[in-house]
C-alpha cells in the first residue's frame, strides 16, 4: 500500500515553500474549490464561488477584447504601410504614361486588387482610340458617369469613397475578369475647378476586401494624392 503523496515531507515542503505554484494554476484552484463545495450540503449556496465564476467570465471577455484591439491595431498599421508604399510608387514618376503604368502595375499589386480602371468624364469625344496603350487602365465616359456608377441615379455629388460587394463587376471596367469580381472600391476624384470629375475603380475577388461599414480614411487619403497628381498632368 502506497502512502499519500502529501505524507512525503519533501512534497509538503515544496508546496509550502512555493504556494504560488498552486495559486497560479487555474485548473488546480478550480479542483480545490470544487472539492470544498462537495463538503457542503446541496442546499448551501457559495457566493464566493458565484463571484469567482463571474470574475472569470469578465476576465475572459477582457482578454478577448484585448486580443481584438491588438489585431485591429496591427491591421490598421499594415493598411497604412500599404497605402504609403502605393503613394510613394506613384510619386516616383513625372511622365503621365509612366504614372499610369505604375498605377496599373505595381500600385495595383501593392493594393492587392484584381482589377483597376481610371475613368475620366468628358463632354467631348469619348473615343478611346487616341488613348493607345493607356486604354487598358483608363477610359472616358459621359458627364454624370461617376454618380451613376456609384448608385446615385438622381445625380448629385458622390461620397469620396464608396465600398460595396458585387456579384460580378462591370465588363467595361474589368474586361474578362469581371465575372470574378466580388467587391469594389469607387474613389471619386475632384480634378480641379472647371474640370469634370474622375473615378478610380478598384475591384477584388475577395468579397470581404471592400465592404460597407469598413473604414475608408486610408483610401480617401490615397484618392486625395491621386487627384492632386492628375491635376498636375492635366494642367
pLDDT in tens, 95-147: 999 999 999 999 999 999 999 999 999 887 776 657 777 888 899 999 989 99
In angstroms, the CA 10 to CA 6 distance is 9
In angstroms, the CA 122 to CA 222 distance is 23
Q: Is the backbone of residue 3 left (phi > 0), alpha (psi -120 to 50) or beta?
A: beta
**Domain range summary for the chain, segments of one domain joined by +:** 94-234
User: Residue 111 gets which letter from DSSP?
Assistant: T
DSSP 157-217: PPPSEEEEE-SS--HHHHGGGGGG--EEEEEEE---TTS--EEEEEEES-TTTS-TTS--H
pTM: 0.69
Asked whether the beta carbons of 133 and 154 are under 8 A apart, the reply is no
pLDDT of residue 85: 93
- Computed from CA positions of residues 33, 39, 43, 46, in that sequence, does the dihedral angle turn out positive or negative? negative
Q: How would you class 33 by CB atoms within 10 Å of its CB: exposed for 0-12, middle for 13-18, buried for 19 or more?
A: middle
Asked whether the beta carbons of 115 and 181 are under 8 A apart, the reply is yes
Give, for 120, the enclosing helix (H) or strand (E). Answer: strand 115-121
Please check the confidence at residue 161 and state whether its pLDDT lies above 70: yes
Q: In the CATH scheme, what is the homologous superfamily, with its name and number, of domain 94-234?
A: GAF domain (3.30.450.40)
> Could you tell me the pLDDT band of residue 41, with boundaries at 50, 70 and 90?
low
Amino acid at each position: 500500500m502506497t502512502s499519500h503523496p502529501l505524507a512525503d515531507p519533501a512534497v509538503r515542503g515544496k508546496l509550502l515553500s512555493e504556494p504560488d505554484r498552486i495559486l497560479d494554476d487555474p485548473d488546480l484552484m478550480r479542483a480545490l474549490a470544487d472539492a470544498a463545495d462537495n463538503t457542503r450540503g446541496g442546499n448551501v449556496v457559495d457566493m464566493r464561488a458565484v463571484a469567482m465564476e463571474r470574475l472569470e467570465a469578465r476576465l475572459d471577455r477582457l482578454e478577448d477584447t484585448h486580443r481584438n484591439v491588438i489585431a485591429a491595431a496591427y491591421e490598421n498599421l499594415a493598411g497604412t504601410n500599404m497605402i504609403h508604399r502605393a503613394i510613394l510608387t506613384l510619386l516616383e514618376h513625372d511622365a503621365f504614361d509612366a504614372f499610369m503604368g505604375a498605377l496599373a502595375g505595381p500600385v495595383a499589386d501593392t493594393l492587392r486588387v484584381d482589377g483597376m480602371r481610371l475613368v475620366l468624364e468628358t463632354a467631348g469625344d469619348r473615343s478611346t482610340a487616341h488613348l493607345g496603350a493607356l486604354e487598358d487602365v483608363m477610359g472616358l465616359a459621359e458627364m454624370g458617369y461617376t454618380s451613376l456608377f456609384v448608385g446615385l441615379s438622381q445625380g448629385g455629388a458622390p461620397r469620396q469613397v464608396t465600398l460595396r460587394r458585387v456579384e460580378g463587376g462591370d465588363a467595361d471596367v474589368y474586361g474578362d475578369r469581371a465575372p470574378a469580381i466580388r467587391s469594389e472600391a469607387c474613389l471619386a476624384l475632384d480634378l480641379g475647378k472647371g474640370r469634370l470629375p474622375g473615378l478610380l475603380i478598384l475591384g477584388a475577388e475577395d468579397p470581404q476586401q471592400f465592404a460597407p461599414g469598413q473604414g475608408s480614411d486610408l483610401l480617401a487619403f490615397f484618392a486625395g494624392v491621386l487627384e492632386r497628381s492628375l491635376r498636375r498632368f492635366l494642367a
